[in-house]
Structure 1
């Protein structure tokens, strides 16, 4: 099978990759690029563990062909931290105990990031709706919802839309 070359932005870096025409995005990320934060779960787009952001919007990378990202921007969980400094959502998930096995966490956080960029101060219903495409079999969702709401709280700088500076120590 003849491979095709694609060029795209991955976590802010331009990437050129040779992919098989039938290769999924999740397989390219994990197998070719070593980004194992994106999980392969159901392979059918039901669980959300493979969620990444395509041009800022959550997509199931198990349902997308890698060739479809040519010319686009992809953000994975690895792209959220700033060096050793975790993204505010990552910090909040840890602080609120919203992680157990962690398999769903990358997809949950990326779905939440998309929500908070569009709606910096969401309601609980908006949070639950935003993560409805991500399944968790451990936490019962309450701590996940609390972590997202805590990141968006008025006490947090994130409520002004500046999610990058939330939870910074003074």
Structure 2
């Protein structure tokens, strides 16, 4: 299948150095890069939100400009979030998987609720046909990111 051949390496198979090599020179936003299956396979919208929250990295950070400390935090968060998700899902019946996934999420799908880490309000940014959730306190130094859909409407 041609689609499978275009997949990047599995997220759980990457070392910190491998992850750094995949991100080097990439000028895209880290949120977008993490969900690009040709760069890293296995991370979707929900888990990218969770990984970035755990790593305390802004979804708008430039992928290729992460510091060594951020890269290590990103790798550690990627491994812990995805390993936890797999562990919680093993043995679950198909009908229970979605609920089990939601139960482990700290920011994704929790717009308007308090962040379980710091208590700030989880915010959402929408653009095109996608959205993401993040915590301003944990991820952007308190800065609330502009919602792209609303910004265009207000101009």
User: For the superposition of Structure 1 and Structure 2, which TM-score range results when normalised by the shorter chain?
Assistant: 0.3 to 0.5
TM-score normalised by the chain length of structure 2: 0.38
Greater strand proportion = 1
Greater helix proportion = 2
TM-score normalised by the chain length of structure 1: 0.36
